[in-house]
Amino acid sequence: MRKKALASIFSAIMLVMLFTTRGIYAESLKLDVKEHVFKNGLKLLMFEKHDVPIVCVRINYKVGSADERPGITGVSHLFEHMMFKGTKIFGTKDFAAEKPLLDKEDDLVIRISAERNKDIPDTKKIASFEKELEEVRKKLRDLVVKDEVFALYFRHGAAGLNAATSSDGTYYFCNLPANKLELWAFIESDRMKNLVLREFYSERDVVMEERRLRTENSPFGLLMEQLNAVSFIAHPYRWPTIGWRSDVQNITKAETAEYFKKYYAPNNAVIVMVGDFNPDTAIKLVEQYFSNIPSQPTPPRVKTIEPEQKGERRTEVEFESNPYIAISYHIPQIGHPDLYALDVLASLLSDGRTSRLYRSLVENKRIAVMAHAFNQISKYPDSFVLLAAPRAPHTVEEVESALYEEIEKLKNAPPSDWELQKIKNQLEAEFIRGLNSASGLANEIGEFEVLADWRYINTFMDKLSQVTAEDVMRVAKKYLVKRNRTVATLIKKEHGNGKAEETKETHKAGLPMTID
Amino acid sequence: MIINKYFVFSLVVIVYAFSIVHPANLFAQAQSHELGHERPAVPPVTSPESEGGKKVSQFKFKPLNFAPPKVDRIVMENGMILYLLEDHNLPIFNMVARIRTGAIYEPPEKAGLANLTGYVMRSGGTPSMQADKMNEELEFMAASVETSIDRESGNATLSVLKKDIDKGLKIFADVLMHPAFPEDKIQMRKDEVVEIIRRENDNPSQIANREFRKIIYDSKHPYSRRVEGTLESIEKITREDMIAFHKKYFHPNNIILGISGDFNKEEIIKKLNEVFAGWKKENIQFPEVPKVERQFERSVYNIYKDINQANVMMGHLGIHRRSPDYFPVTIMNFILGGGSFNARILSRIRSDEGLAYSAFSAFQTSQDLGMFFVSCQTKLESTNRAISIALEELDKMRNTPVGDEELAQAKETFMNQFIFRFVTSANIVGQKVEIEYEGLPLNYLETYLDNVKAITRDDIQRVAKKYLHPDEIKILVVGDKERFDKPLNNFGKVNLIELK
């Protein structure tokens, strides 16, 4: 046992270390996160780090695309965008004047949509509604204070301002100079209390452009969307977080507002603070601004359980791009003991130049330019994914069988001690390096809290260090089998066989989307 | 572990676009004011328009007490410049090196030479440690040594835990001084580069970035080329070319080293002297790089690709990094299209009309004249509209002075964000290295806030007139022009570029 005297160094940033007898030195590194839960159910997680006067704050909501239903897929992500559009007191010169106009706008949009959906739409009627709508929007625009939330944050020195949505959570990021924490509390509590779905229709169009950019015109985005849609037949992980095209185009403001009320309550939220602040002061500040926001009934969990896969599934995507291949295997949800061995397995396969896929597919056989494996750890059972790009003239078929060859090897022989120890050393170093970034720590604490519990980070290191070569073999045999897999390939579309089209439903149900 | 995330604002897309052109300084990585103290809140020029804004203006913020740590600069006997910053918070150690070299110095028929050399330096190992062994050594101790050569600089990094500093330094120095360039690793990388080039046309923004460079710069200038080279030029590069290229530029007097983390200054200098022992100063003759010729002329280009969203890039020559107008241009661009939601271009194209997810403008800077460009992606049916809005905004920027409030917003953003330049010691040292490499005044960070503070509305308008030329702009659109809202030739005669 070689204990290194690192504890004193770490304690300076509130890190507690435990030692075990394994490994090069400390195997168990732990974060000491302070926790406070307010009366309305809002949770505050705090980690002090006083080297630079900044504070990285996150507000995460335990809601993501898995909580949606067909017809409103993409609403969590759309809502993420809407949170930047202001409140009753931000982003508007006069909410009292704005409110009736917003109602009028919604009413006209609904009328236009209804008329368009009739078998024989009355084009004159539509034209007159549209004219009226344009006038309403002109008035609305005069009342808006453009992107004020963003401007205020920026002006006070906020950085890394953004938000993100995944299948399990929605994350609002903000890094501030340490003296501006109250600004954050004021704006964020108001967003939770008094949100206004302003500029809803144009933002929905923005999301459509985002969909075109990241999914419809991206070989990679398209492939992953199709892979998920075929891997899952029942569970909501089957739809993309950004939503299906027709749903995004048609989500109504009423549906969005209802969704907000149900899921974006303090009892479904967690605040994470990492940086230069005093926890007692922070608790008081959050109390002052957030405690009067009422909690809501506990939102339902997803009840659908993905049925066991009964045989290999395959799908092909034609696109104007060179080939790719993606393979997924169903695996359990966060907290399941097998996941740790699967993490090690993924690392073994594709972390670094000494990883198996790199050595075999990229370096020795030279049939691929990229080959990766990753574990998608989620709230509900998700998937283990392999992804590769063949090097011409090699084909996806060659790459696919080379991938299986590597997997079979793992089933038949245990990984070497060297490989396992390397992975453990890397995890430990990664943990230590991670402590250097307040922003990264805030993300990590917040993400694991959304999935399960931030303490997962602490137990994770222990559990991983206990993974044995036999465990790796066992999970390879258990999960990485033919009947549990889905294979998606992207193949090059011949030039001119059908153009990329906007689907027709756009027109039928389409609402006036832009203000000209 | 959560990989499929969608963001409200695409930093990802933008960073990607920047990285293709040049990764420097167009973001509002702003500057606050004199080091050490937060500026006292300046009362807004006009009163806030919203109730919330009014409340915020009443807030009193305590000053930030922070003095950035002092970074030591040392010139070694062998000419190597060191920047050192001890930080004992965590047992980690980082080094970053800048080497004056780049693709600008390679002969055009061997395009890709610099980039290939930079890659194989590390991937090929050294005579004393073969590549496989090096990979194993480094990865087992969770360390990394990486090298690369870009358009206008060479880079090398070392990241290692404190306990492995000696081993890490040894490998790092060995890679810099004695790369082996084995034939098999060269061939392997060449094959990969060929595949990367083959795959470029898969992605609309990659097409746009590559072709836009060719449109902006004369084909004889190295700025017009891609650093990876072409299918033909890659073929022609030999091992001897790479050895010669390395030999020419990799000398200690041509290196700036940034060192940060858990180390002791005296000790590390001693160690550096040991690992670099025998490495001597050398006189380097840099090949002459032709000057970028100033030429402005409106032209329009279209590349057909079967996609449902047009990828637009429009722009012309801009400024170089040491331009005395750099500060006013940066602030002007922040207002125009660099300041994300606060910027005029995004505000109109995205926020008002929902035409695009990402829309921004940038002055990419380099040693000689860089590019100014506007980039956006919009559905085919709104292509013309989006381009027109961007052109209108350029006109407006030239012809109408910016508002006091708008300028104050931009300047305060830069000044208050200044603290984020100091979030890690590696980050601070990295900036110092960058500043020295770019030939900027060494007190650049110390004077940055005053430079921002001094900018006036007149400055903004002067630089807008001088550096924005909407009438002489080059417009490139990837997408099916048959489906645009209005004919593209509204903007000028359309030149078609065939994808190969």
> In whole angstroms, what is the distance from residue A387 CA to residue B22 CA?
29
Residues B140, A422: C-beta atoms closer than 8 Å: yes
- Which residues of A fall within a CB distance of 8 Å from B343? none
> In whole angstroms, what is the distance from residue B400 CA to residue B390 CA?
15
User: Over 80: is that where the pLDDT of B450 sits?
Assistant: yes
Predicted TM-score (pTM) of this structure? 0.91
User: Looking at residue A512, what is its pLDDT?
Assistant: 34
Residues B142, A425: C-beta atoms closer than 8 Å: yes
Residues A156, B4: C-beta atoms closer than 8 Å: no
Q: What's the start-to-end Cα distance of chain A, in Å?
A: 72
Q: DSSP labels for B231-259?
A: HHHHHH--HHHHHHHHHHH--GGGEEEEE
Contact B197, B231 (CB under 8 A): yes
Q: Which uninterrupted H or E stretch holds A162?
A: strand A159-165
Scanning every residue of chain A, which has its alpha carbon at the shortest distance from the alpha carbon of B378? A209
What average pLDDT does the segment A484-498 reach?
83
Quickly list H helices, A291-377: 338-350, 356-357
User: Looking at residue A4, what is its pLDDT?
Assistant: 28
Q: What residues of chain A, 246 to 285, have a C-beta less than 8 Å from chain B?
A: none
Least confident of A15-29, A318-332, B18-32, B376-390: B18-32
Phi-psi region of A157 (alpha: psi -120 to 50; beta: other; left: phi over 0): left
Is some CB atom of chain B closer than 8 A to the CB atom of A179? yes
User: Looking at residue B25, what is its pLDDT?
Assistant: 29
- Which residues of B fall within a CB distance of 8 Å from A376? 1-3
Residues B354, A201: C-beta atoms closer than 8 Å: yes
What average pLDDT does the segment A261-274 reach?
97
* Residue with more model confidence, A22 or A344: A344
User: Looking at residue B35, what is its pLDDT?
Assistant: 37
Minimal CA separation from A218 to chain B, in Å:
7
- The minimal CB distance from A499 to the residues B199, B341, B480 is found for B480
User: Looking at residue A461, what is its pLDDT?
Assistant: 84
Least confident of B66-70, B258-262, B389-393, B480-484: B66-70
User: Looking at residue B437, what is its pLDDT?
Assistant: 98
Cα diameter, chain B: 70
> In whole angstroms, what is the distance from residue B380 CA to residue B215 CA?
22
Return mean pLDDT, chain B.
91
Where residue B435 falls among pLDDT bands split at 50, 70, 90?
very high
User: Over 60: is that where the pLDDT of B18 sits?
Assistant: no
Q: DSSP labels for B431-491?
A: HHHHHHHHT--TTHHHHHHHHHHT--HHHHHHHHHHH--GGG-EEEEES-GGGSSS-GGGG
Return mean pLDDT, chain A.
90
Residue A466 CB partners (closer than 8 Å, separation 6+) = A340
Q: What residues of chain A, 95 to 124, have a C-beta less than 8 Å from chain B?
A: 95
Where residue A516 falls among pLDDT bands split at 50, 70, 90?
very low
Q: What's the start-to-end Cα distance of chain B, in Å?
A: 37
CA–centroid distance for A324 within its chain: 23
Show the beta-strand stretches assigned E in A241-344.
Answer: 269-275, 313-319, 324-330
Angle between helices A456-465 and A417-434 in degrees, nearest 10: 160
User: Which residue's entry shows tokens 């017009």?
Assistant: B224
Triad A213, A444, A27: Cα angle to 5°: 135
Sign of torsion over alpha carbons A446, A447, A450, A452: negative
Where residue A30 falls among pLDDT bands split at 50, 70, 90?
confident
Scanning every residue of chain A, which has its alpha carbon at the shortest distance from the alpha carbon of B379? A209
Question: Around Cβ A94, how many Cβ atoms within 10 Å?
Answer: 12
Where residue A508 falls among pLDDT bands split at 50, 70, 90?
very low
User: Over 50: is that where the pLDDT of B12 sits?
Assistant: no
User: Looking at residue A269, what is its pLDDT?
Assistant: 98
What percent of chain B has a predicted confidence (pLDDT) above 70? 91
What average pLDDT does the segment A316-331 reach?
96
What average pLDDT does the segment B233-241 reach?
98
Q: Which amino acid is located at B409 in the chain?
A: Q
User: Looking at residue B66, what is its pLDDT?
Assistant: 86
Name which of A353, A426, A451, A456 to mutate to probe chain B: the one with the most chain B Cβ atoms within 10 A of its Cβ. A353
Beta-bridge mates of residue A274: A47, A56
Beta-bridge mates of residue A18: A28
User: Looking at residue B15, what is its pLDDT?
Assistant: 38
> In whole angstroms, what is the distance from residue A203 CA to residue B346 CA?
13
* Residue with more model confidence, A30 or B96: B96
pLDDT in tens, A86-141: 999 999 999 999 999 999 999 999 999 999 999 999 999 999 999 999 999 999 99
Where residue A501 falls among pLDDT bands split at 50, 70, 90?
low
User: Looking at residue A500, what is its pLDDT?
Assistant: 58
pLDDT in tens, A281-295: 999 999 999 999 999
User: Looking at residue A493, what is its pLDDT?
Assistant: 84
Q: What residues of chain A, 198 to 257, have a C-beta less than 8 Å from chain B?
A: 199, 201-210, 212-214, 216-219, 224, 240-242
> In whole angstroms, what is the distance from residue A384 CA to residue A373 CA?
7
> In whole angstroms, what is the distance from residue A239 CA to residue A248 CA?
12
Nearest to A205 by CA among B343, B14, B359: B359
Triad A267, A299, A268: Cα angle to 5°: 25
Residues B142, A428: C-beta atoms closer than 8 Å: yes
User: Looking at residue A498, what is its pLDDT?
Assistant: 54
What average pLDDT does the segment B175-200 reach?
97
What average pLDDT does the segment B273-280 reach?
96
Minimal CA separation from A106 to chain B, in Å:
17
